[in-house]
Structure 1
Amino acid sequence: MHTIYDYLSDLTLRAYCRLQVFAVQEPVRLRSALTSLLLVGAVFVPALLDEDIVQTIGAVGVVAFPVIVGESTRTKVSPTA
């Protein structure tokens, strides 16, 4: 049982370190992903109580928009070698 705890602890630490590296290397992409995650919580969770398809389709557009804009912004900001 102790080895499972060690494995999970190691896995958590590795994920945290990779997230830090990703945040330094890709700040625009991280911001767009966090914005989309926030929008998912704000739009989809209340939409689960309703079965209105129009609201669900609009929610997909709202969540996808920051990712698309973030990718186009990243290509303008990131240095090209």
Structure 2
Amino acid sequence: MPVFDYLNDITLRAYVRLQVFATTEPVRLRAALTSTVMILAFAFPSITAGVAERIGYVGAAVLPILMGESARSKVSPSDPSDEE
């Protein structure tokens, strides 16, 4: 079934690209996820602010854990004593 093989290949490539993007651009990924949740909340009014807020909290907490220390260091403020 070449169609399923092609769809599987596309899915795997998209997943790898998302992982690379999340590792290199964690702030942009968080902003994109937040915007997506806001658009969904606007498009589907049944999604309450509480649900959207919880999704945002989970995204903000889970992304640094999944992406590791390198992603955290990119979004954390630098220590002024390190610059001297």
TM-score, structure 2 length as denominator?
0.52
Identity level (%): 61
Superposed CA offset, 1:15-72 (max 9, x none): 00000000000000000000000001112222xxxxxxxxxxxxxxxxxxxxxxxxxx
Matches of 2:3 and 2:43 in 1, distance apart?
35
Question: Quick one: which amino acid aligns to residue 3 of structure 2?
Answer: I
Equivalent AA in structure 2 for residue 38 of structure 1: V
Question: Counterpart amino acid of 2:42?
Answer: V
What runs of 5+ residues in structure 1 fail to find an aligned partner? 47-76
Tell me what 1:57 maps to: none
Give the structure 2 partner of residue 21 of structure 1. 20
Q: What's 1:67 paired with? A: none
Gaps of 5+ in 2: 46-74, 76-84
In structure 2, the residue matched to 1:45 is 44
**RMSD of the TM alignment (CA)?**
1.1
Task: Report the equivalent of 1:4.
Answer: 3
* Aligned residue in 2 for 1:32: 31
Structure 1 equivalent of residue 53 of structure 2: none
